[in-house]
Structure 1
Amino acid sequence: MQPADTQRSPLSRIATLAWPILVGQLAVIANGVMDTAMTSRFSATDLAALSIGASVYVSIFVGLNGVLQALSPIIGQLYGARRFGDIGPEVKQGAWLAALLTVIGCLGLLFPQPLLSLAHAPPELADKATLYLRTLSFALPATLGFRIYASLNTALGRPKMVMAIQVIGLVLKVPLNALFIFGGLGLPAYGGPGCAMATTVIAWVSFLISFAILHTSPSYRDFRLFGAGFVPPRAAALMALLRLGIPMGLSYLIEVTAFTFMALFIARLGATAVAGHQITANFATVLYMLPLSIANATSTLVAQAIGARQPQTARHVGYYGIALAGGLSATLGLLVWLLRGVIIRAYTPDPVIIAAATPLFVFIAFYQLFDAVQVTTAFVLRAYRVAVVPTVIYAVALWGVGLGGGYVLGLNPFGISPPMLQGAAGFWMGNSTSLGLVGLGLLWYLRRVQRRHAHAPTHAAVTQPG
């Protein structure tokens, strides 16, 4: 795909990029589905420990991953401006940043007790969750390394090889999970922590494949990724990445920790409640991949148009992407509501867990629209290299309205919550409301950013992170 390709309709261009991103993301999320489904057949205790441990890991990983994703709009704008030789140096600075983030993330995974203590989990659950997280500390360097490769390819409009590697990882996941969860070949049954062992193996396989492709494929030679000798970290380049990456990472962290703390607070209600929440949250994450793939594709095209100094194209593509994601997600939410019984039984045969999960699926049915609008709008803003104000909107809505309101409704500390919203349902109600507020706030701010760019069509966006 050429930079600033405007020969096809925006919907066609978005779809061409979105479908391999979607397949790849579904492959990644299917790893989590396999973890949940296979661990639920080992024991309810291990499933609850997996839910708690996975929530903590996702919070740490997504925050770090968000910082690294600052590479995508920067590379996308350079590619749109046809400044190919400047892409390699940016990738190398991203590698230095990934090394720093690995150290920070591993400390959080090796010493997770402060977060785990919020769950008030019994010792057996806490011990299993701790082992799960410490095992994943060995996966983090490879996972962040592969994220650099994925960010580069997405920004260039080349997501198919990323998809292929992610599908390979999924193929490996089932046998590796079976080996480590249930035991075999001389290994004991590790239960839930076995999922982390399988994830670690897959992370390193994926990273090594991606590195070999970058090093040997002639399609990357114009970007000066190799052959320039040792490149030390440069303060100016790292600061530019951090100015964009830190608020991006914080927005990811805020969004995910809303779910993390939901799981930790719901854990106070017992293993059955947290298991029902885990199934609902896991399937909601699967559905989220559709708007997320559209958001990624839309952001890539908007960034390339900005780099090519085509502000009207950037604006039109952005709104097409938001409308496409919202329309498809609303339709999908209706289908989920109609098929909720079949979906839950595919996760677990346990009637007690089914009863706990069923009432929560009503929230999936209607919050899909809110989630789709907010994520696509956020990605369009990141294409403009704007992330600070969206992060503030996320913090106020998701932590204040979502988590705070969910705590009041779900745990009912003031005795004012209606019975139907007490328990896990109250947390899901708070989260759904907050996502609607985020969507409205981000749409409002996007209009302001686009007007500013329309009045300055020759602005050198590729050199001015916002």
Structure 2
Amino acid sequence: MSELGIIARHAGTVLIGQLAVIAFGVADTLIAGRYSPQALAVLSLASSIYISIYVALNGMLQALLPVWAQLRGAGRTADMGRSVRQALYICAGAAVIGCTGLWFSEPWLRWTDVPPDLWPEVKAYLQVLAIALVPSLLFRMYSTFNQSLGYPRLVTWLQAGALLVKVPLSYVLTFGIESAPLQWAGMGVVGCAWATLGVNAFMLGTGVILLRTQDIYRPYRLWQKMEAPDWPQLGRFLHLGVPAGLSIMVEVTSFTLMALFIARLGAVSSASHQIASSLAAVLYMVPLALGIASSARTGYWLGAEQVHKARQSAGLGIGLSVVAALIGAGLLAAFRAPVAQAFTTDPGVAAAATVWLGWVALYHLADAVQAVCAFLLRCYRITMAPLLIYTALLWGLGLYGGYRLAYQGLGSWVARPSVDTFWMTSTIALAIVSILFAVLVWRATRDPVADR
């Protein structure tokens, strides 16, 4: 099979699984939207805080993908097993940090001026997700390991199967059971969080069984005795993973924190923004899958010391992301009105979301290229430059610029308190990031040192 075919097949398989995962959130949004506008606002705020913490920790573990891919390319199978066991120490530390941040969420709520009447439900939601974080991070390790091997199918099957459990479970736990003799009032929007905990535990448990029983994992000797911490190796992991995790945190929080700053505009703005952000997340799954697939192949070829093939894989990933982004953005722009109406029964929320979805289409065009480039840069151990660029542009121009323009005015522009103000500044920031990242990838793949 050609390199293009390998990347496309890998990305397609990952995409199916990622769409299943994002469907967890989309389903919760639909369920909360039909429960009440306040439930949708609670979900929007709680999800924003959870994602802001989770993605940094997830990104730190995901950054190990090129490490394992390069070991595989070099034929060092036994070293891969030892590397995975050492990564468990990183995972444990990440879980402690994440659970603490989610359980004690008051600073987040106070800092972002979340309306006090929403605090109890948001806090309850986040405390359930604090427990759910542990199996989620462990499953991310399993997923990343499979992706480094070029075998994402088992992960995809698990994620798709979990969706079949998640949707009905979220509905029942939210709305309860009305038919006799099992009548139950339900838990409201917090039921969605309990459903998330259930499916995370299900996926992790099944993943562990597969690791123990499937022949494809035997060459890597994963189940040998756990070694003591190898501090030099853990230091290398952290040197790569911490900047990568922080970069993803800045990238995603520049997106998710919009919901917290938009909350002061009222329930309709929060609810309509949640619909827009859900669709943006769905579209993002395509460049995410392409980034995973192309970085796995690029890392593999770098480990095999085939730098020209690594360069080809990187170029194919970027090219495919541009084509896919044009298609996805075009479809969303054309059908944004019926899409918005499918998410809510409130006419005001649907009308507002229709407008924001036009901005989401433009946002995605800017988002796609930088998403793939960020994965490719990790293959070349370039992590600090993306972190600095993300911080300056996404937090600076995108998030802070949107906040100033919305509530205080910016330069000669008067304050414009509207949801699309944030989408506009974030789109401009992402467009600049994409250009800078593409230049970094171009320079990295053509570094004369890499050709020796």
Above 0.5 in TM-score?
yes
TM-score (structure 1 length as normaliser): 0.93
* 1:385, distance to aligned residue in structure 2 (A): 2.4
Contact 1:370–1:432 (CA under 8 A) maintained in structure 2: yes
> Gapped runs of 5+ residues in structure 2?
none
> Gapped runs of 5+ residues in structure 1?
1-7, 459-466
Q: Deviations over 1:128-156 (max 9, x none)?
A: 11100001111111001101100000011
What's the secondary structure of 1:455's corresponding residue? helix
How far apart, CA to CA, are the structure 2 residues paired with 1:235 and 1:69? 20
* 1:427, distance to aligned residue in structure 2 (A): 0.3
How far apart, CA to CA, are the structure 2 residues paired with 1:120 and 1:255? 22
The 3 A distance-change label for structure 1 pair 92 and 286 is same
Q: Deviations over 1:72-131 (max 9, x none)?
A: 110000011111110001110111111111111010011011111233233331111110
- Tell me which residue corresponds to 1:308: 304
* 1:407, distance to aligned residue in structure 2 (A): 1.1
- Tell me which residue corresponds to 2:425: 430
How far apart, CA to CA, are the structure 2 residues paired with 1:426 and 1:394? 19
How far apart, CA to CA, are the structure 2 residues paired with 1:230 and 1:153? 20
How far apart, CA to CA, are the structure 1 residues paired with 2:158 and 2:90? 23
* 1:168, distance to aligned residue in structure 2 (A): 1.1
- Tell me which residue corresponds to 2:154: 161
How far apart, CA to CA, are the structure 1 residues paired with 2:196 and 2:276? 22
Answering whether residue 330 of structure 2 is matched by residue 334 of structure 1, we say yes
Answering whether residue 384 of structure 2 is matched by residue 388 of structure 1, we say yes
Q: Deviations over 1:32-89 (max 9, x none)?
A: 0000000111111111011000000001110100111122110000011111110001
* 1:187, distance to aligned residue in structure 2 (A): 4.8
- Tell me which residue corresponds to 1:92: 85
The 3 A distance-change label for structure 1 pair 385 and 320 is same
Answering whether residue 346 of structure 2 is matched by residue 350 of structure 1, we say yes
Contact 1:255–1:398 (CA under 8 A) maintained in structure 2: yes
How far apart, CA to CA, are the structure 2 residues paired with 1:42 and 1:187? 15
How far apart, CA to CA, are the structure 2 residues paired with 1:101 and 1:114? 20
Contact 1:132–1:193 (CA under 8 A) maintained in structure 2: yes
Equivalent position to 2:314, from 300, 315, 318: 318
Equivalent position to 1:209, from 206, 218, 226: 206
* 1:309, distance to aligned residue in structure 2 (A): 0.5
How far apart, CA to CA, are the structure 1 residues paired with 2:242 and 2:226? 26
Q: Deviations over 1:444-464 (max 9, x none)?
A: 111222222x43434xxxxxx
- Tell me which residue corresponds to 1:365: 361
Moved more, 409-418 or 24-33: 409-418
How far apart, CA to CA, are the structure 1 residues paired with 2:88 and 2:107? 29
Percent identical: 41
Contact 2:399–2:422 (CA under 8 A) maintained in structure 1: yes
Equivalent residues in 2 for 1:274-313, closer than 5 Å: 274-313=270-309
Moved more, 252-261 or 280-289: 252-261
Answering whether residue 130 of structure 2 is matched by residue 137 of structure 1, we say yes
Equivalent position to 2:23, from 24, 30, 37: 30
- Tell me which residue corresponds to 2:192: 195
CA RMSD of aligned residues (A): 1.5
Equivalent position to 2:100, from 81, 95, 107: 107
Please tell me the residue identity of whatever aligns with 1:21.
V
Moved more, 322-331 or 228-237: 228-237
- Tell me which residue corresponds to 1:149: 142
* 1:411, distance to aligned residue in structure 2 (A): 2.2
Equivalent position to 2:54, from 52, 55, 61: 61
How far apart, CA to CA, are the structure 1 residues paired with 2:159 and 2:437? 31
Answering whether residue 439 of structure 2 is matched by residue 450 of structure 1, we say no
What's the secondary structure of 1:41's corresponding residue? helix
* 1:210, distance to aligned residue in structure 2 (A): 0.3
Equivalent residues in 2 for 1:229-248, closer than 5 Å: 229-248=225-244
How far apart, CA to CA, are the structure 2 residues paired with 1:195 and 1:116? 20
Please tell me the residue identity of whatever aligns with 1:23.
I
Number of residue pairs aligned between Structure 1 and Structure 2:
448
What's the secondary structure of 1:225's corresponding residue? coil
- Tell me which residue corresponds to 2:436: 441
What's the secondary structure of 2:369's corresponding residue? helix
How far apart, CA to CA, are the structure 2 residues paired with 1:75 and 1:350? 48
TM-score (structure 2 length as normaliser): 0.96
Please tell me the residue identity of whatever aligns with 1:284.
A
Q: Deviations over 1:178-216 (max 9, x none)?
A: 121112356542222111100001000100000111111
How far apart, CA to CA, are the structure 1 residues paired with 2:299 and 2:319? 18
Please tell me the residue identity of whatever aligns with 2:396.
G
How far apart, CA to CA, are the structure 2 residues paired with 1:139 and 1:133? 10
Contact 1:119–1:268 (CA under 8 A) maintained in structure 2: no
Answering whether residue 2 of structure 2 is matched by residue 9 of structure 1, we say yes
What's the secondary structure of 1:375's corresponding residue? helix
- Tell me which residue corresponds to 2:371: 375
Please tell me the residue identity of whatever aligns with 2:229.
P
What's the secondary structure of 1:138's corresponding residue? helix
Contact 1:291–1:376 (CA under 8 A) maintained in structure 2: yes
Contact 1:71–1:90 (CA under 8 A) maintained in structure 2: no
The 3 A distance-change label for structure 1 pair 193 and 417 is farther
Q: Deviations over 1:426-448 (max 9, x none)?
A: 00001101110110111111122
Equivalent position to 1:223, from 213, 216, 220: 220
